[in-house]
Structure 1
Amino acid sequence: MTTTIFKHIDTSSSTSTKPWAKVDGPGQSFIMRDHNRKVHNIRDKIDSYNTDNSAFAVYHSPASEKLFTDDAKVRREYYPEVEALLRDRLSGVKKVHFFDHTIRRRTKDSPRQPVQQVHVDQTPEAAAARVRRHLPDEADELLKGRYQIINVWRPIENPASDFPLAVVDWRSTSPADFIPIDLMYPKRADSVHDDDDRGKEKLPDEASLFSAEGYEVKGETLGVAPSEKHEFFYVKDMTPEEVMLLKCYDSYGEGEPMGKKGLAVRTPHTAFQDPQTPADAPGRQSIEVRCLVFYE
């Protein structure tokens, strides 16, 4: 166990009616506040946590790809490995659809850095919108059953000692903790014919970080208000041979229209600075693959 700083949205600070944040950098309409919290290393207890009870899980699952420098190769070769993992570890999966992946490298020239804000990637409305966007011909039927958005997160090249990933056990959260935030993408002239934004982000102009001009809403995330009840966990020095499953939404989660009591809906997550990390630890690199998962 260690104590560190976690960053949460200040719900009173937004300069707009609804908070917004940019996908390609630090620009946003609100400020974040630092909160000291305990975070527990569950390296020796990972079998106690799964996507149904806590909304996250950790597995040993080596990948054939090691560097993840070619997006087309990631989609062609790594996606099938992720699907096999999900089908093996999650009971009753009938369909997996990949809609996105993000590679984060803690270097100055990378537009996608580790995110230091406690958040969830999708709201329930954004999850349903993803189904309709990517599977329009099947959406009506798929939305009648159980579906999830799951991120499959893996360190690249070296253990994730620098800015590791922390999660909040769903059982320690309350529905009132979650604040919808519009996710802003740069407007692109070619987006009418190509709505795939992967790899097209650019580092934003520092002079306009806090302006929404030139951006449009293409998603909705959840900020998380701070709470003394939240239980933070991480797996110290996660290796490239390990993956963490992060559930962002479950249509059967408790409190949802088709919800089941005790079934986890989502896990908030964030990068954080571990005070125990050696000063010479290599910068964090990681890949997260975002998946729509449908069940029998």
Structure 2
Amino acid sequence: MTTSGIFRYADPATIVDSDVPFVKPWAKVDTDASSYARIAKKKTVANVRDAPAGDLAVDRSGFALYNSPATEKLFVDEDAIRTGYYAEVEALVREKLSTPQEPVTKVVIFDHTVRRRNPDAPRQPVQQVHVDQTPGAAAVRVRRHASSDPAETEKLLKGRYQIINVWRPIGHAASDHPLGFIDYRTAKLEDVVKVDLLYPNQPGDPNVEVDVRGKEVLPDPTKAQSTDGYSVKGETYTVVPNDTHQFYYVKDMVPDEALFIKCFDSRSEVQPGVGRPGVSAWTPHTAFEDPQTPADAKGRQSIEVRCLVFYGEAEQ
């Protein structure tokens, strides 16, 4: 069963071709503000549950759905998330992505986000088509999180690694503002545009990451287009429209299910010199308003865990 949705893309007519900070396209992480305009497109959305068996996979379409109940249910305790749930996610990633020819040798979980859709929550479901990481941002993540040994870090960067987001509803089915994602095979490299992520300045060393999850305050909407008080601390892809894009969603996805979303792959078909034909590079995704959602559906709650996944070669 299909549905439809209005998807917010970047308007290509408002994209500036520049690498100069604050002239290069930018988007703020704490509010729905960017240097470029948005354009809305109505798209048909297919249900993952109706896809032929085996057609949708992380290395083909860029995403995959798994049945995997979690021990944690509420996701309100940060310590419980970082200890118990992180371990469950790592085990699931190893189980689903390892192959005899290319086993997963290391998983590093570097971040997570809990979103609960209500008007006053700082972390709202993102409603613009995007990809979380560019190749440059992915390499930065490896250098920052993978190892304290510089030699090991360089070795990891030379091998195959991915950034995989593991997304799960919390508490009830994600019927309200479900996650929509594009089949990689229907997208093109020119559909993605590099965008600087602007973070509000925090006290202390600007080179040290500060964990402000749960401590954010809603920004002043009258200053949305001002970059004063912000710094560039990341890079993402925004996405421009293409009529070829085929969207999918998981109708009434439940907390016992986990969705893998590929954000980067160092051996994808678009990687110069080392790319593998047919291997997906990324999965553009966004929350969207499903017109079939019941009026009394509960507000969407979700947790997204971001993983660096490293591969080795099978022992001979």
Alignment of 1:9 with 2:10, yes or no, is yes
* Alignment partners' CA distance in 2, 1:81 and 1:266: 23
Q: Cα RMSD between the aligned structures?
A: 1.5
* Alignment partners' CA distance in 1, 2:216 and 2:54: 37
My pick for the range that moved more, 193-202 or 215-224, is: 193-202
TM-score, normalising length from structure 2? 0.90
Alignment of 1:141 with 2:152, yes or no, is no
AA matched with 2:37: I
* Alignment partners' CA distance in 2, 1:30 and 1:98: 31
The aligned residue for residue 211 of structure 1 is: 226
Q: Report the 3-state secondary structure (helix = DSSP H, G, I; strand = E; otherwise coil) of the residue aligned with 1:127.
A: helix
Q: Report the 3-state secondary structure (helix = DSSP H, G, I; strand = E; otherwise coil) of the residue aligned with 1:48.
A: coil
Assess if the C-alpha contact under 8 Å between 2:15 and 2:36 holds in 1: yes
Q: CA deviation at 1:14?
A: 4.8
Q: CA deviation at 1:191?
A: 4.1
* Alignment partners' CA distance in 2, 1:118 and 1:72: 31
AA matched with 1:158: H
Q: Which residue of the other structure, out of 246, 252, 258, is the alignment partner of 1:243?
A: 258
The aligned residue for residue 36 of structure 2 is: 30
Assess if the C-alpha contact under 8 Å between 2:202 and 2:210 holds in 1: no
- Structure 1: tracts of 5 or more residues without a match: none
The aligned residue for residue 288 of structure 2 is: 272
The aligned residue for residue 94 of structure 1 is: 105
* Alignment partners' CA distance in 2, 1:47 and 1:107: 36
Alignment of 1:50 with 2:57, yes or no, is yes
* Alignment partners' CA distance in 2, 1:76 and 1:175: 37
* Change beyond 3 A, Cα 1:232–1:248: same
Matches within 5 A, 1:179-258: 179-192=193-206, 194-199=208-213, 200-257=215-272, 258=274
Q: CA deviation at 1:201?
A: 3.1
AA matched with 1:62: P
The aligned residue for residue 19 of structure 2 is: none
Q: Report the 3-state secondary structure (helix = DSSP H, G, I; strand = E; otherwise coil) of the residue aligned with 1:263.
A: coil
The aligned residue for residue 119 of structure 1 is: 130
Q: Report the 3-state secondary structure (helix = DSSP H, G, I; strand = E; otherwise coil) of the residue aligned with 1:43.
A: helix
My pick for the range that moved more, 128-137 or 147-156, is: 128-137
Alignment of 1:72 with 2:79, yes or no, is yes
My pick for the range that moved more, 28-37 or 143-152, is: 28-37
* Alignment partners' CA distance in 2, 1:176 and 1:187: 32
Assess if the C-alpha contact under 8 Å between 1:101 and 1:198 holds in 2: no
Assess if the C-alpha contact under 8 Å between 1:148 and 1:247 holds in 2: yes
Assess if the C-alpha contact under 8 Å between 1:21 and 1:27 holds in 2: yes
* Alignment partners' CA distance in 1, 2:244 and 2:10: 16
Alignment of 1:84 with 2:85, yes or no, is no
Q: CA deviation at 1:19?
A: 1.1
Q: Report the 3-state secondary structure (helix = DSSP H, G, I; strand = E; otherwise coil) of the residue aligned with 1:131.
A: helix
* Alignment partners' CA distance in 1, 2:206 and 2:226: 23
Q: Deviations over 1:153-182 (max 9, x none)?
A: 000001000000011011111111000010
* Change beyond 3 A, Cα 1:119–1:192: closer
Q: Deviations over 1:12-58 (max 9, x none)?
A: 22585311111111121111111011111121336421111111000
Q: Report the 3-state secondary structure (helix = DSSP H, G, I; strand = E; otherwise coil) of the residue aligned with 1:291.
A: strand
AA matched with 2:13: S
AA matched with 2:165: N
AA matched with 2:290: D
The aligned residue for residue 18 of structure 1 is: 24
AA matched with 1:53: R
* Change beyond 3 A, Cα 1:81–1:179: same
* Alignment partners' CA distance in 2, 1:237 and 1:2: 12
Q: CA deviation at 1:186?
A: 1.0
Q: Deviations over 1:62-119 (max 9, x none)?
A: 0011110111210011000000000100111000001100001111221110111110
Q: Which residue of the other structure, out of 127, 146, 152, is the alignment partner of 2:166?
A: 152
Assess if the C-alpha contact under 8 Å between 1:186 and 1:201 holds in 2: no
My pick for the range that moved more, 270-279 or 12-21, is: 12-21
My pick for the range that moved more, 102-111 or 130-139, is: 130-139
Alignment of 1:173 with 2:184, yes or no, is no
